[in-house]
Amino acid sequence: MKGSRAVVMLLLSLVAGIAAVVLAARWLNERSDAASGSQIVVASRDIELGQPLNATMLRLVSWPAGALPAVPSARLRRWLGVCCAASC
């Protein structure tokens, strides 16, 4: 009687452990899909004030789409040269 109770508890623990692993894997997979929303440009090393930029100083990284601003500011758009007269 005591041996069968231990086997049942062991099987229940095994099922609960497998369910936890499956749910955690599914949650992590959904989270990684959401995190790969956009790519942004960041500095790959320290850049001194006034130092001209070149391609070796910058790199692309994945960034969650929800963490990006909805629309860049007008000042940033003008600096990038993508601002048209109608939208600024």
Q: How far apart are CA 88 and CA 61, in angstroms?
A: 29
pLDDT above 70 for 88? no
Q: To the nearest whole number, what is the mean pLDDT of the chain? A: 78
pLDDT above 50 for 23? yes
Q: How far apart are CA 14 and CA 12, in angstroms?
A: 5
- The residue with greater pLDDT, 4 or 76, is 4
DSSP string, the chain: -HHHHHHHHHHHHHHHHHHHHHHHHHHHHHHHHHH-SEEEEEESS---TTPPP-GGGEEEEEE-GGGS-SS--HHHHHHHT---TTT-
- The residue with greater pLDDT, 77 or 43, is 43
- The residue with greater pLDDT, 60 or 66, is 60
Exposure string of 62-72, with b = 16+ CB inside 10 Å and e = fewer, is ebeeeeeeeee
Predicted pLDDT of residue 72: 59
